Amino acid sequence: MKAALGLDSVAEKTDAELAAEVEHGAVWVGELSPEAWALIVRHEARAAVLNAVVAGGWEAVEAVLVRLWAVEARGRPLAA
């Protein structure tokens, strides 16, 4: 099945090798901490983060995170 899906080469690579690969056209914008990712997941804000990075880059992502931390501190869910 892996061969049919073209995944043979993936199985032969270690996690470190896969992590070191950069896709053509990929652009580094920033890195989320595990705590920030957990916050995003808790508030189901993956789409908000993706939209932010497309619209305004890393600064926009940081603004979303600040908003999420504030919402969480108040104990209310993020409004859609």
pLDDT of res. 57: 94
pLDDT of res. 10: 53
Helix (H, G, I), strand (E, B) or coil at 52: helix
Domain count, the chain: 1
CA distances from 77 to 2, 43, 64, 80 (A): 41, 7, 14, 9
- Supply the pTM of this predicted model: 0.64
pLDDT of res. 52: 96
Does 20 reside within a domain? yes
Residue corresponding to tokens 């470190």 = 16
Does 45 reside within a domain? yes
Does 79 reside within a domain? no
Does 64 reside within a domain? yes
Does 9 reside within a domain? yes
pLDDT along the chain (80 residues), means of 10: 55 73 78 95 95 95 96 72
Q: By residue range, what is the domain housing residue 6?
A: 2-74
Does 80 reside within a domain? no
